[in-house]
Amino acid sequence: MSGVFEVNHPLISCHLTRLRDKTTPPAEFRQYVRRLATLLAYEATKDLHVADEQVATPLTTTTGSKLGQRIGLVPILRAGLGMVEPVIDLIPTAEVWHLGLYRDEATAEPVEYYSKLPQQHPVDVALVLDPMLATGGSAVAAMTSLQRWGVQQVKLLSVIAAREGIEAVNTAFPNAQIYVCKIDPQLNDHKFIVPGLGDAGDRTFNTKA
């Protein structure tokens, strides 16, 4: 599908294997999420616009570059929080706007419980951060909120995605870009990605019941 990028790289493959392993403890799980988020962000930001900037080196002056667009990071609470730090390390000038969404287990539909998006002055590019793209409901809801805000370019960064979720996002937002480390084949009866890695939020924050 157009606009869908499955990033193939030996490091991604190795980090993802450790992330999937059910014996990986939360502290290590968070490290692997950060590493994968860094690699995803590197790919997703290749087409950002830059402007010229004059700087003085210890020897002379030269022309360099600076970002020419306002970038917004939009983590979907709560699992998306684990992807913020590595991405903002790459883009220190980025703004962070939070969206709280959870999946109703009875209907598998997203429920919004928190939004920090302002009413005016949208960013130029929004990077939606969510480790798991399962049904696509939360991603579509987040991107709908960003569309209402007036964001012109939206990119979704997910560690693992199911084909069903990608199709849902691609149908609702055909011009959006989706960057994933791996596309898994299916969802189970409980709408979890298979083989997947379980509940990313619980594994990140050590809250599994």
130 and 138 Cβ atoms separated by less than 8 Å: yes
- To the query of whether residue 57 is one of the catalytic residues in this protein, the response is no
Residues 6+ apart with CB under 8 A from 141: 101, 110, 112
104 is catalytic: no
Pair of tokens at residue 33: 């999420």
Report the greatest alpha carbon distance in the chain. Answer: 65
Q: Which residues contact 12 (CB under 8 A, 6 or more apart)?
A: 36, 39, 181, 182
Active-site residue (options: 57, 61, 107, 189): 107
| Cα distances (Å, whole numbers) of residue 84 to 10, 80, 107, 142, 187 | 23, 7, 29, 16, 26
Question: Does the annotation count 107 as an active-site position?
Answer: yes
For residues 63 and 76, is the Cβ–Cβ distance under 8 A? Answer: no
**Of 103, 124, 144, 163, which residue is the catalytic one?**
103
| Whether residue 124 lies in the annotated active site | no
Catalytic site positions: 103, 107, 199, 202
